[in-house]
A and B are shown apart, each in its own frame.
Chain A
Amino acid sequence: MNQTYGVAGVTAVVLATVLVGALGLRVSRTTSDFHVASRTVAPHLNATAVSGEYLSAASFLGVAGLVLAQGAGMLWFPVGYTAGFLVLLVFVAAPLRRSGAYTLPDFAEARLESRAVRRTAGVLVVGIGWLYLLPQLRGAGLTLRLLTGVPGWLGGLVVAAVVTAAVAAGGMRSVTLVQAFHYWLKLAALLVPAAFLLLAWRADHAPVPAWDERPVFHRATTVRVDRPLTLTVREPVRVTASGIVDGVAAHGGSLNLAEGRHRIGAPATLRFPAGARVPLSDRSPRRTTPSEGAEAPPSSGETHSLYATYGLVLATFLGTMGLPHVVVRFYTNPDGRAARRTTVIVLGLLGAFYVLVPLYGVLGRLYAPDLLLTGDTDAAVLVLPQRLVGGVTGDLLGALVAGGACAAFLSTASGLTLSVAGVLAQDVLPALGVRHVRLAALPAVAVPAAAGAVAGDLPAADAVGLAFAVSASSFCPLLVLGIWWRGLTAPGALAGLVLGGGSALAAVTLTLAGGARSGWPHTLLAWPAVWSVPLGFAAMVLTSLATRDRVPPGTAATLARLHRPEPGPNPPEEPVRGGRTSAGRRS
Chain B
Amino acid sequence: MTVLAVTALVLAGFALFALGAALGHRAARRQLEHTTGAGGPRAAHTAAAPLRAGLTPDTARRTVRRLRPLLGTPAVALTGPESVLAWDGTGAHHRDELLVQLDDLGRLRTIAPDCDVNGCPLHWAVLVPLRVDGVTVGALAVFAAAGSTALVRAAGEAARGLTAELELAELDRLRADVREAEMRALRAQISPHFVYNSLASIASFVRTDPERARELIQQFAEFTRYSFRRDGDFTTLAEELRSIEQYLELARARFGRRLRVTLRIAPEVLPVTLPFLSLQPLVENALKHGLEESVERGTVTITAEDEGTEARVVIEDNGVGMDPEHLRAVLRGTAGPSAGIGLSNVDRRLRRVYGDDHGLVVETGIGAGTRVTVRIPKFRAGVQAPPPRRPP
B309's contact among A39, A102, A491, by CB below 8 Å, is which?
A102
Does B171 reach chain A (CB closer than 8 Å)?
Answer: no
Rounded to whole Å, the gap between the CB of A88 and the closest CB of chain B is: 18
Return chain B residues, CB-CB under 8 Å to A106.
378-379
Contact B268 A28 (CB under 8 A): no
Return chain B residues, CB-CB under 8 Å to A41.
267-268, 270
Does A426 reach chain B (CB closer than 8 Å)?
Answer: yes
Contact B18 A542 (CB under 8 A): yes
Contact B308 A422 (CB under 8 A): yes
A437-B308, A534-B11, A546-B26 known; A566-B392 Cβ under 8 A: no
Return chain A residues, CB-CB under 8 Å to B26.
546-547
> Within the assembled complex, what's the spacing in Å between the Cα atoms of A567 and B388?
8
Return chain A residues, CB-CB under 8 Å to B252.
31
In the complex, chain B residues 1-24 whose Cβ is within 8 Å of any chain A Cβ:
3, 6-7, 10-11, 14-15, 17-19, 21-23
Contact A100 B383 (CB under 8 A): yes
Does A284 reach chain B (CB closer than 8 Å)?
Answer: no
> Within the assembled complex, what's the spacing in Å between the Cα atoms of A502 and B271?
33
Q: Digitize B39-58: 1 where CB-to-A-CB distance is under 8 Å, 0 elsewhere.
A: 00000000000000000000
Contact A38 B242 (CB under 8 A): yes
Return chain A residues, CB-CB under 8 Å to B19.
542, 546
Contact A101 B379 (CB under 8 A): yes
Interface hit among A5-13, A166-174, A211-219? A166-174
Q: Digitize A398-426: 1 where CB-to-B-CB distance is under 8 Å, 0 elsewhere.
A: 00000000000000000000100110011
Does A254 reach chain B (CB closer than 8 Å)?
Answer: no
A542-B22, A566-B387 known; A37-B263 Cβ under 8 A: yes
Does A331 reach chain B (CB closer than 8 Å)?
Answer: yes
Contact A37 B271 (CB under 8 A): no
Rounded to whole Å, the gap between the CB of A560 and the closest CB of chain B is: 12
B388's contact among A334, A425, A564, by CB below 8 Å, is which?
A334
Does A529 reach chain B (CB closer than 8 Å)?
Answer: no
| Interface footprint category on B | 35 or more
Does B389 reach chain A (CB closer than 8 Å)?
Answer: yes
A29-B262, A175-B306, A542-B22 known; A40-B271 Cβ under 8 A: yes
Return chain A residues, CB-CB under 8 Å to B225.
574
Contact A331 B245 (CB under 8 A): no
Does A113 reach chain B (CB closer than 8 Å)?
Answer: yes
Rounded to whole Å, the gap between the CB of B365 and the closest CB of chain A is: 25
Contact B248 A546 (CB under 8 A): no
A546's contact among B22, B62, B383, by CB below 8 Å, is which?
B22
Rounded to whole Å, the gap between the CB of B389 and the closest CB of chain A is: 7
> Within the assembled complex, what's the spacing in Å between the Cα atoms of A35 and B267?
12
Does A25 reach chain B (CB closer than 8 Å)?
Answer: yes
Does A316 reach chain B (CB closer than 8 Å)?
Answer: no
> Within the assembled complex, what's the spacing in Å between the Cα atoms of A262 and B383?
67
Q: Digitize A522-541: 1 where CB-to-B-CB distance is under 8 Å, 0 elsewhere.
A: 00100000010011001100
Return chain A residues, CB-CB under 8 Å to B248.
31, 34
Q: Digitize A79-106: 1 where CB-to-B-CB distance is under 8 Å, 0 elsewhere.
A: 0000000000000000000001111001
Return chain A residues, CB-CB under 8 Å to B6.
520
Contact B262 A542 (CB under 8 A): no
> Within the assembled complex, what's the spacing in Å between the Cα atoms of A102 and B310?
10
> Within the assembled complex, what's the spacing in Å between the Cα atoms of A570 and B390?
7
Contact B271 A333 (CB under 8 A): yes
Return chain B residues, CB-CB under 8 Å to A418.
308
Residue of B nearest to A579 (CB): B217
Does B182 reach chain A (CB closer than 8 Å)?
Answer: no
Contact B378 A331 (CB under 8 A): yes
Contact B390 A28 (CB under 8 A): no
Contact A34 B245 (CB under 8 A): yes
B263's contact among A29, A503, A542, by CB below 8 Å, is which?
A29
Rounded to whole Å, the gap between the CB of A162 and the closest CB of chain B is: 18
Rounded to whole Å, the gap between the CB of B302 and the closest CB of chain A is: 9
Contact A38 B265 (CB under 8 A): yes
Contact B309 A426 (CB under 8 A): yes
> Within the assembled complex, what's the spacing in Å between the Cα atoms of A100 and B387?
11
Does A335 reach chain B (CB closer than 8 Å)?
Answer: yes
In the complex, chain B residues 333-386 whose Cβ is within 8 Å of any chain A Cβ:
378-379, 381, 383-385
Return chain A residues, CB-CB under 8 Å to B305.
170, 173
Does A204 reach chain B (CB closer than 8 Å)?
Answer: no
A102-B378, A109-B381, A534-B11 known; A495-B22 Cβ under 8 A: yes
A173's contact among B3, B11, B266, B381, by CB below 8 Å, is which?
B266
In the complex, chain A residues 30-61 whose Cβ is within 8 Å of any chain B Cβ:
30-31, 33-35, 37-41
Does B145 reach chain A (CB closer than 8 Å)?
Answer: no
Rounded to whole Å, the gap between the CB of A496 and the closest CB of chain B is: 9
Return chain A residues, CB-CB under 8 Å to B379.
100-103, 106, 110
Does B260 reach chain A (CB closer than 8 Å)?
Answer: yes
Return chain A residues, CB-CB under 8 Å to B249.
31
Contact A543 B270 (CB under 8 A): no
Return chain A residues, CB-CB under 8 Å to B241.
34, 37-38
Does A571 reach chain B (CB closer than 8 Å)?
Answer: yes
In the complex, chain B residues 142-169 whose Cβ is within 8 Å of any chain A Cβ:
none
Contact B18 A499 (CB under 8 A): yes
Return chain B residues, CB-CB under 8 Å to A24.
266
Residue of A nearest to B312 (CB): A170
Q: Digitize B298-322: 1 where CB-to-A-CB distance is under 8 Å, 0 elsewhere.
A: 0000000111111000000000000
> Within the assembled complex, what's the spacing in Å between the Cα atoms of A6 and B375?
42
Rounded to whole Å, the gap between the CB of A195 and the closest CB of chain B is: 34
Residue of A nearest to B3 (CB): A520
**Given A38-B265, A170-B307, A578-B217, 6 additional A-B pairs, CB 8 A:** A24-B266, A34-B263, A173-B305, A495-B21, A499-B14, A542-B18
26 A-B residue pairs with Cβ-Cβ distance under 8 Å, sorted by A, are A24-B266, A28-B262, A29-B264, A30-B262, A31-B248, A31-B249, A34-B242, A34-B263, A39-B238, A39-B267, A40-B238, A101-B379, A170-B305, A175-B268, A175-B306, A421-B308, A499-B14, A503-B14, A520-B6, A543-B22, A546-B26, A549-B62, A561-B384, A567-B387, A571-B389, A576-B218
Which 3 pairs, one residue from A and one from B, show the smallest C-beta to C-beta distance? A437-B308, A102-B378, A106-B379
